[in-house]
Amino acid sequence: MQARDRIKEIISDSIAVKRSFLADVSEVEKVGEAAQAIKDCYARGGKLLVFGNGGSAADSQHIAAEMVVRFRRERKALACISLTADTSILTAVSNDYDFSKVFLRQLEAHLRKEDLVIAISTSGVSANVVDAVKYAAARKVPVIALTGKGGGPLASIADIPIIVPSQVTARIQETHNVLIHAICELVEENL
């Protein structure tokens, strides 16, 4: 297979996952619910705490950048912290405790009742993500989960689980990226 044909196949697969997501009305509605939950968080003076591993760590930083800086409109900065961005904290927790505590420990420091958590895991089974979400849920702090592969335990404990219908990590991440942009655009409207 030539590179050109493989590229077309990869892009077609990505489009197919997005079309499959669009066909599930309840999942599409959850994206709107997530945007509203974020607006509600900001209305009550809260902040977003966002985290994930690997590519999902990058997605959490992406969300933080869009909220703090701007997405499409000039507006005030919105409070959002990516718990994946501080290498000193990540390495200290990993060294002094273990990697499973990197997000939980930061939630212990930063989480307040008016906040909102966004947890990102393509598999929905990442122990450090699930444990941090359990911590937030026990404190009645709302949780949005972006996941795939059926959602795993993460989907069952999140208030708003958004599950991409794919088993392929790359296709899930590509769809998460579109959903992140949709959420950011909806949050910016009517600010």
Domain definitions of the chain by residue range? 3-188
Gap between the Cα atoms of 44 and 31, Å rounded: 20
Which fold is adopted by the domain 3-188?
A: Rossmann fold (3.40.50)
Work out the number of other CB atoms within 10 angstroms of the CB of residue 131. 15
Residue 164, beta-bridge partner list:
148
pLDDT at 75: 94
Can you say how many angstroms the Cα of residue 101 is from the centroid of all Cα atoms in its chain? 18
Mode of pairing for the β-strands spanning 116-121 and 48-52: parallel
Can you say how many angstroms the Cα of residue 131 is from the centroid of all Cα atoms in its chain? 15
pLDDT at 191: 77
pLDDT at 80: 98
pLDDT at 104: 98
pLDDT at 190: 75
Per residue in 140-153, pLDDT (tens digit) is: 999 999 999 999 99
What parts of the chain have a pLDDT lower than 50? none
Angle between helices 87-96 and 102-110 (to 10 degrees): 120
Q: Which of 154, 157, 144, 148 is nearest to 184 (CA)?
A: 144
